[in-house]
């Protein structure tokens, strides 16, 4: 069955282009041009992914996002943000968006992000395999062990938990706040810099070049994305 994408965007030219292209890729596309009817359509169900503009009449994309999440919808939300609006990205991810692309976006990039989100959404949450491999690295979740080229990589429990979380959410931007909440459980003494420090350690252990990371990629102003 084709996946249905709900496009909430008020710019007619973009609605036309996106609808055309997405339908060409085999998706079913429904569009709404303001935030209010967008929320309504999203909550009516049967939507596999929401493509959401931020600047919308009646309700902003942030508000749409919040409302949809509050109502319990788990549909992946991909936000369309304006170039250089890092604040938008941060707020977007905080309100429950899964990822974003920056306007004007590259169509291939957008399609790849859509595909990644749909793939992740259709895999059951607990379905992380016992062993996950990327490059010469192996994460064995049964033994809570990481190997590189067959050799165990020593790491702290926290580093391991951080890596496991990133890997389990591969292809998605994960904010520092989310990592603090999910991996550190918001211990009051933990600063968001701690996340960066731990990521740095993981990179030194896992990346061929920690300065040019291939697996744990920085998403400027937001957080990290595991690209394995």
Residue 93 CB contacts under 8 Å (≥ 6 apart), including other chains: 100, 173, 175, 178, 222, 223
Residue 172 CB contacts under 8 Å (≥ 6 apart), including other chains: 98, 99, 116, 117, 120, 225
Q: Nearest distance from residue 73's CB to Ca ion, in Å?
A: 22
Nearer to Ca ion, 10 or 177 (CB): 10
Nearer to Ca ion, 42 or 163 (CB): 42
Nearer to Ca ion, 7 or 153 (CB): 7
- Return left, alpha or beta for 114; rule: phi > 0 is left, psi -120 to 50 is alpha, else beta: alpha
Which residue's CB atom is positioned nearest to Ca ion?
55
Q: What is the distance between the alpha carbons of residues 104 and 158, in angstroms, rounded to a whole number? A: 38
Q: Is 55 in the site for Ca ion (CB under 5 A)?
A: yes
Q: How many amino acids of this chain bind Ca ion (CB under 5 A)?
A: 3
Q: Is 88 in the site for Ca ion (CB under 5 A)?
A: no
Q: Nearest distance from residue 39's CB to Ca ion, in Å?
A: 16
Q: Is 10 in the site for Ca ion (CB under 5 A)?
A: yes
- Select from 31, 32, 35, 53 the one that contacts Ca ion (CB under 5 A): 53
Length of the chain: 228
Q: Nearest distance from residue 211's CB to Ca ion, in Å?
A: 37
Residue linked to tokens 């062993």: 131
Stretch near Ca ion under the rule CB under 5 A, chosen from 3-11, 20-28, 70-78, 123-131: 3-11
Q: What is the distance between the alpha carbons of residues 214 and 218, in angstroms, rounded to a whole number? A: 10
Q: State both tokens at 25.
A: 């890729």
Q: Is 85 in the site for Ca ion (CB under 5 A)?
A: no
Residue linked to tokens 């339908």: 23
Nearer to Ca ion, 10 or 196 (CB): 10
Q: What is the distance between the alpha carbons of residues 204 and 216, in angstroms, rounded to a whole number? A: 11
Nearer to Ca ion, 55 or 171 (CB): 55
- Which residues of this chain interact with Ca ion, rule CB under 5 A? 10, 53, 55
């Amino acid at each position: 069955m084709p996946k249905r994408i709900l496009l909430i965007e008020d710019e007619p030219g973009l609605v036309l282009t996106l609808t055309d292209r997405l339908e060409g890729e085999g998706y079913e596309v429904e569009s709404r041009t303001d935030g209010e009817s967008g929320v309504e359509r999203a909550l009516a169900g049967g939507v596999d992914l929401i493509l959401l503009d931020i600047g919308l009449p009646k309700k902003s994309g942030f508000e749409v996002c919040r409302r949809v999440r509050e109502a319990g919808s788990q549909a992946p939300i991909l936000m369309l943000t304006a170039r250089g609006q890092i604040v938008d990205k941060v707020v977007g991810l905080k309100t429950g968006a899964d990822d974003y692309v920056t306007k004007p976006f590259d169509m291939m990039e957008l399609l790849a992000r859509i595909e990644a989100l749909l793939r992740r959404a259709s895999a059951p949450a607990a379905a992380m395999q016992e062993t996950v491999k990327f490059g010469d690295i192996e994460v064995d979740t049964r033994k809570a062990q990481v190997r590189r080229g067959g050799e165990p990589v020593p790491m702290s429990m926290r580093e391991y938990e951080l890596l496991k979380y990133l890997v389990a959410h591969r292809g998605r931007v994960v904010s520092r706040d989310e990592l603090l909440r999910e991996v550190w459980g918001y211990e009051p003494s933990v600063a968001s810099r701690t996340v960066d420090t731990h990521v740095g350690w993981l990179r030194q252990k896992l990346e061929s070049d920690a300065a040019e990371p291939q697996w744990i990629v920085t998403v400027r102003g937001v957080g990290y994305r595991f690209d394995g």
